[in-house]
Amino acid sequence: MILLADSGSTKTEWALINKGESRKFHSAGMNPYFASDDDIRKILNDVKNWIGEGVVNKVVFYGSGCNSTEKGSEMQRLFKEIFEESDIEVHSDLIGAAVSLFGNKTGIAVILGTGANSGYFDGKEITFKTESLGFVLGDEGSGAYLGKELIRELLYENLSKEIQNDFAAEYKIGKVEILENIYKKPYANRFLAGFTVFLKKHETNPDIKKIISNSFESLVKNHLIKYPQKENCEFGFVGSIAWHFKDELIEVCKKHNLKIQTIIGKPMDNLIKYYSK
């Protein structure tokens, strides 16, 4: 049996492959920069209970926050505590996205979910990438970035009365609660990304459309146009933000002559096919 995981900051999708068949399970996100060791252990125990009988021969984990050797080793240790008999592989979520998008071919993979990341994939490894600064300083085009832009414009009262009233009616929270969730409570990135539902609902509104387009313009300016391979290589996008706001994303990329190969919401189905071969 092979256990696959695609993990972001908000959620993790699991798949168990056994004799050509697969089944899925969902849990909370397991980004080691945000989730504690105890949080991760609890999730892994829940996954082991879900699997039930049988030995997992191999675990392949693709996770946000696992691009450094230190965090990757930390996750490997936690997995080994629970899956003692399994071979454990821990990779960044960016490699997982690249494999799901391109298989063994080259391309520039871009993740747009709660967070954002990108890199040039040579068919085996990520060999070039732009700097990722996290949701406070970077993550342009991500759910957290979009949510942050929306909240800032709302609190500065730069949006129309219609949008302000709709937001107040839907969320029933004010400035104090918003700032407390961002500055005092854990998982501020998830909190901010949660407002993308509101953005999607109002995406035809000129003010909201501008927020979405400007977020993708920042993604292009600070990341995508900096790839030396961009002229001869196609971009692939994966993640909930890329999928739900694909029309705006395509429009911005087309404006900058960036070629898009594909946009997918979740990488897991393609990863299952890849590891089932």
Structure-block tokens of residue 150: 């929306």
* Alpha-carbon span 206 to 204, nearest angstrom: 6
Q: Where are the domains of the chain?
A: 2-98+268-276
CB 267 within 8 A of CB 100: yes
Please, what is the average pLDDT of the chain?
Answer: 91
pLDDT tens-digit profile of 166-222?
999 999 888 999 999 889 888 888 899 999 999 999 999 999 999 999 999 999 999
**Beta-carbon count within 10 A of 40 CB:** 25
- Give the dihedral of Cα atoms 93, 95, 100, 101; nearest 10 deg: 110
Provide the CATH topology of domain 2-98+268-276: Nucleotidyltransferase; domain 5 (3.30.420)
pLDDT tens-digit profile of 214-267?
999 999 999 999 999 988 889 999 999 999 999 999 999 999 999 999 999 989
Residue 249 has φ and ψ, to the nearest 5°, of -65, -45
pLDDT tens-digit profile of 134-172?
778 878 999 999 999 999 999 999 999 999 999 999 998
Q: Full-prediction pTM beyond 0.75? A: yes
**Beta-carbon count within 10 A of 72 CB:** 19
pLDDT surpasses 90 at 101: yes
